Amino acid sequence: MTEAKPAMSALRRRMIDDMTLRNLSPATQRSYLHAVTKFSRHFGCSPDRLGLEDVRSFQVHLVAQGISWPALNQTVCALRFFYGVTLDRAEFPERIVYARTPRKLPAILGADEVVRFLEAVPSLKTRVALTTAYAAGLRASEAVSLKVADIDSARMVLQVRHGKGAKDRTVMLSAALLAILRSYWRLTRPNDWLFPGRGPDKPIDVQVLHSACRSATKAAGLTKKVSVHTLRHSFATHLLESGTDIRIIQVLLGHANLSTTARYTHVATSTIARTPSPLDRLDIVVTPLA
């Protein structure tokens, strides 16, 4: 283990440089470094001395430890990057397999549940941030990263900077949200960050939103597990149920693939209920049995 430290330090620096050159987000970089470090510590040696059989053994170990499927696949991404990019072993990545993740339908809040949830958030700043996340379908990281200058009331849009994949996008600014944001601004007078943290030079920590979601869920008496992403799921589903084209929803959410957005068709219950059955087209009468 002692011998592995200098090599690991050099590899760590190289991996950080590789990730920076490819513009991976700070959160992704931290996740990848944590995964490779954990892999190295499991075997007690530098990861460049480990091979595919070691990777497989490590994956089996993680599954036995009860790791979640998304976390396991995040580790796979990290190891594929490490071997394929940092170590330049092109044949390795495709042989490090992803886990087949069980596809679960997301939890969706009804309109009345959204109101109950938001009203149960005691902090003004956090409540407005979560309201904005629902109104514009934002991820937690996108909501906390909003700046006052991102609000374009003339065009009635919000500018989302550096979303997933470092992509910018434009989303709608509803009249109701604009009114809420203006009231919030008059009361708090944020200067740069729309939702500043403890100091004005940094935004509110994303963990503050996650913690608020847990507290508000309990306070509102909701049985569903509600997160910031639940608000985003609800945003998409409510748009779909109101007749918004799924391709528009794809753009608003910043999805690269339409198939990702299409899963909301499985939970848009009012859309499903309005869909006529082929039986409705048949001229058939069912007579009761004698």
Tokens found for residue 135: 């109104």
Catalytic, 164? Answer yes
Which of 80, 125, 127, 139 is an active site residue?
A: 139
Active-site residue identified among 89, 164, 224, 263: 164
Measured distance CA(257)–CA(178) in Å, rounded: 30
CB atoms within 10 A of CB 240: 21
Catalytic residue of the set 32, 134, 184, 264: 264
Sheet holding 151-152, edge to edge: 151-152, 157-160, 169-172
CA dihedral 228, 231, 236, 237 (to 10 degrees): 140
**Is-catalytic flag, 184?**
no
Enter the tokens of residue 283.
């001229």
Given 14, 169, 255, 263, which residue is catalytic? 255
From 125, 127, 232, 238, the catalytic residue: 232
Active site residue 162: no
Would residue 233 show up in a list of annotated catalytic residues for this protein?
Answer: no
The beta strands (E) that lie in the chain are given as 151-152, 157-160, 169-172
What residues are paired with 169 via a beta bridge? 160
Closest by CA to 72, choosing from 53, 49, 100, 46, is 100
198 a catalytic residue: no
Other Cβ atoms closer than 10 A to 24: 18
Residue 61 falls in the annotated catalytic set: no
Give which of 167, 105, 176 is closest to 136, Cα–Cα.
176
Sequence-distant (6+) residues with CB within 8 A of 190 are: 148, 196, 200
Active site residues: 139, 164, 229, 232, 255, 264
